[in-house]
Amino acid sequence: MRIPEKLERGDEIRIIAPSRSASILSEEGVQIAKEQLENLGFVVSFGKHVFEKDLQNSTSIQQRVEDLHEAFADKHVKGILTVIGGFNSNELLPYIDYELLKENPKIFCGYSDITAIGTAISTQCGFVTYSGPHFSSFQMKKAQEYQTHFFKQCLMQEEPFELKPSEQWSDDAWYLDQENRVFEKTVWKMYNEGTASGELWGGNLCTLNLLQGTKYMPSVGNAILFIEDDEMTIPETFARDVTSLLQNAQSIKALVIGRFQRASKMTEEQLLFILDKHPLLKEIPVLYDVDFGHTQPMFTFPLGGEAQVDAVNGLLKLMRF
């Protein structure tokens, strides 16, 4: 798996909307996120159709694919960030010119629904994409330091590094109220001890499972899986989704689970009950309540990269990204 050229200060980052459009963001939010990226030394540009919207706050397949193609074809653009997640990035997959992307590999980053398109790009083009902050994530003020630190670590350097727990985390609607936030102490937890290293795949679980049975689904057998889900899941749907993925994989090296949102009703008791069902998970390293997914803050990790999991000491390390 190839590694796209790392970002440097002065590079242009193109903002595109392969899922929901930027029309759902406030003008102030767009400005805050843009300034945050500019303060990191980047030049920010926007796709032609980013601020347009349809009945479902997205745009047509043709418009979204056009912005994607233009971003990859533009020699001045060194990195691509998605506006936000949503529900429909998988609509684009049959219409993407993967040869164009393959000839112009570059940083592509987003999470949630973007799992579908990022994974498809990696499997079809043979280069790593990234599960990490959207453009809209840079609106966030509190807890931004952790998010930005690992965004830079993953996308701007080549040396292996450890992913470390945040000091505190939040599941509040920060995009509605930046000041009155509630934080809790972060603790990464171990379900089963052990160590492993290997190729890393994952992202948003229900979105990744949309790719099963298609050519866009990666071979996750003997991989390290990083999975998370959002407030729309409940313990029962997470249980069947993780079962489906494990049956597809048949065998994996390690499982790392991102922290759940409160609205999902996924208590620790429920999660352990689900994990206990699978004999495989008693034989491999398994960590949970880790800093990625739909709570804040989050770290960035590579789809198709390589990682080490130490579920004895609660450590994660990115080796190739």
Cα 123 from chain centroid (whole Å): 16
Catalytic residue among 21, 89, 136, 228: 228
Q: Name the active-site residue from 19, 21, 112, 136.
A: 112
Specify whether the CB–CB gap between 274 and 189 falls below 8 A.
Answer: no
- For the beta carbon of residue 310, count every other beta carbon within 10 angstroms: 19
Q: Which residues pair with 163 in a beta bridge?
A: 316
Residue 305's CB: how many other CB atoms inside 10 A? 21
Instruction: Indicate if 76 belongs to the active site.
Output: no
Q: How far apart are CA 307 and CA 321, in angstroms?
A: 9
Tokens read off for 9 = 């200060």
Pair of tokens at residue 10: 């002065």
Q: Taking a C-beta distance cutoff of 8 angstroms, is the pair 82, 20 a contact?
A: no
The residue whose two tokens read 């570059």 is: 106
For the question of residue 149 being annotated catalytic, the response is no
Task: State which amino acid sits at residue 73.
Answer: A
Length of the chain: 321
Tally Cβ neighbours within 10 Å of residue 52.
Answer: 16
Q: Are 183 and 170 in contact (CB under 8 A)?
A: yes
The DSSP symbol for 254 reads E
Burial class (CB in 10 A: 0-12, 13-18, 19+), 278: middle
- Using CA atoms, how far residue 108 sits from 117, 174, 211, 235, 304, in Å, is 10, 25, 19, 31, 13
Please confirm, yes or no, whether 8 is among the known catalytic residues.
Answer: no
> What is the largest distance, in Å, between two alpha-carbon atoms of the chain?
51
* Cβ neighbour number for residue 25 with a 10 Å cutoff: 21
List the catalytic residues: 112, 228, 294
